[in-house]
């Protein structure tokens, strides 16, 4: 540690002990359940049921994961969610940039009207039923578009992006490009986008996480289980407790299957959370910046 204790007084030391205790409290409280879930998922169902697992896998086994990856519904959910996430994030990024760039330019006559049009939707919305009817009337129910379009555009992300364009792209650059006869499309493509990696990464992450984690659109608009995203499959397993434990013959068998069902929940939690958690260290360095831009008044 650096020597900054020159100014430390008695009160300072008490305060720093207190703040450190506060930090450690939260680290333990947040990390422990996560560690426990991972440990339990790698343990045997017997060890989990009899409460032997506390911090480390007991009687290590991969049975739960084998069961997860043999479950057709989970696999199909995984596949569907990946498709929705990739396609949805791409469409969302295009829509967001197409709104954010023009709104960041002073040359857009009527820019205030457009801004007002977008901002008003943050203040007031039609609500659940009217939105449902629109989606239904467009014939989107039971198609993959019902999973992508209704939440494809976030005004909040658009404002963050616009603010970034306004602050990161100097006006002089735009004027110079204009004098050289560069069109707006070309300027966006060749200059703005290459300079906006950080913000695109951050809002891309937001959209991707939102797509991957959402279940409500699926609940509203999908009846066909072959289109179910992972989260809806997980809801069945984790929240409603519907795991297929059919063909149970005797009591011992039932106990064994029930044990596996409980174990399966832990493995499912890990499998569902890993894809997003893997994305985030890559984007972490942009993350704080992106959140901060969002806090700047739009």
Partner 1 sequence: MTVPSSIPRNRRGRPNALASMVRHWQLYAMILLPVVYIGIFNYLPMYGVQLAFKRFSPSRGIAGSAWVGLKYFQIFFTSPSCWQVVWNTLSVSVYSIAINFFFPIALAVALNETQHKGFRKTAQMITYAPYFISTVVMVGLIMQVLDPRLGIVNRIVVTLGGAETNFMGKPELFKSIYVWSGLWQGIGYSAIIYLAALSGVSPELQEAAIIDGCNRGQRIWNVDLPSITPTIVIMLIMSFGFVMSVGFEKVFLMQNNLNLSSSEIIATYVYKVGLINADFGFATAIGLFNSVVNVVLLVGANSIAKKMNQPGLW
Binding of partner 1 by 57 (CB under 8 A):
no
For the beta carbon of residue 40, count every other beta carbon within 10 angstroms: 23
Mapped to the 3 state alphabet, what secondary structure does 229-264 carry?
CHHHHHHHHHHCCCCCCCCCCCHHHHHHHHHHHHHH
SS3 292: helix
**Candidate segments 56-64, 195-203, 247-255, 275-283, binder of partner 1 by CB under 8 A:** 275-283
Binding of partner 1 by 125 (CB under 8 A):
yes
Residue from 61, 73, 90, 105 in contact with partner 1 (CB under 8 A): 105
CB of 285 to partner 1, least distance (A): 11
**Candidate segments 64-72, 146-154, 192-200, 249-257, binder of partner 1 by CB under 8 A:** 146-154
How far apart CA 105 and CA 60 sit, in angstroms, is 59
CB of 72 to partner 1, least distance (A): 19
Binding of partner 1 by 127 (CB under 8 A):
yes
Binding of partner 1 by 65 (CB under 8 A):
no
Binding of partner 1 by 146 (CB under 8 A):
no
CB of 36 to partner 1, least distance (A): 6
Binding of partner 1 by 29 (CB under 8 A):
yes
SS3 125: coil
What are the CA-CA distances from residue 191 to residues 165, 172, 283 (Å)?
A: 11, 12, 22
Is residue 248 within 8 Å of 261, Cβ to Cβ?
no
| Cβ closest to partner 1, residue 86 vs residue 98 | 98
How far apart CA 83 and CA 148 sit, in angstroms, is 10
| Cβ closest to partner 1, residue 124 vs residue 249 | 124
Q: Which of residues 81-100 bind partner 1 (CB under 8 A)?
A: 94-96, 98-99
Residue from 68, 93, 147, 152 in contact with partner 1 (CB under 8 A): 152
> How many helices (H) and strands (E) are present in the chain, helices listed first?
15, 0
| Cβ closest to partner 1, residue 16 vs residue 167 | 16
């Amino acid at each position: 540690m650096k020597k900054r204790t020159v100014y430390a007084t008695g009160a300072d030391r008490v305060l720093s002990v207190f703040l450190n205790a506060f930090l450690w409290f939260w680290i333990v409280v947040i990390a422990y359940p996560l560690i426990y879930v991972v440990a339990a998922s790698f343990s045997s169902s017997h060890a989990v049921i009899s409460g032997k697992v506390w911090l480390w896998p007991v009687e290590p086994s991969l049975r739960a994961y084998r069961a997860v990856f043999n479950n057709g519904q989970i696999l199909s959910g995984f596949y569907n969610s990946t498709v929705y996430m990739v396609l949805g994030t791409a469409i969302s990024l295009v829509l967001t940039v197409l709104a954010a760039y023009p709104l960041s330019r002073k040359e857009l006559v009527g820019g205030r009207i457009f801004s007002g049009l977008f901002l008003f939707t943050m203040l007031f919305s039609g609500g659940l039923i009217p939105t449902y009817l629109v989606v239904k009337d467009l014939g989107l129910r039971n198609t993959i578009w019902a999973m992508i379009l209704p939440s494809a555009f976030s005004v909040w992300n658009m404002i963050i992006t616009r603010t970034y364009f306004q602050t990161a792209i100097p006006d002089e650059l735009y004027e110079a490009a204009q004098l050289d006869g560069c069109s707006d499309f070309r300027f966006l493509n060749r200059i703005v986008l290459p300079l906006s990696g950080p913000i695109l990464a951050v809002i891309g992450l937001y959209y991707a996480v939102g797509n991957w984690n959402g279940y409500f659109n699926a609940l509203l608009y999908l009846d066909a289980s072959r289109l179910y995203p992972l989260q809806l499959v997980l809801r069945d397993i984790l929240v409603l407790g519907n795991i297929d434990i059919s063909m149970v013959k005797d009591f011992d068998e039932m106990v064994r299957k029930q044990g596996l069902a409980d174990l399966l929940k832990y493995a499912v939690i890990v499998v569902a959370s890993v894809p997003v958690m893997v994305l985030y260290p890559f984007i972490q360095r942009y993350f704080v910046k992106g959140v901060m831009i969002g806090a700047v008044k739009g």
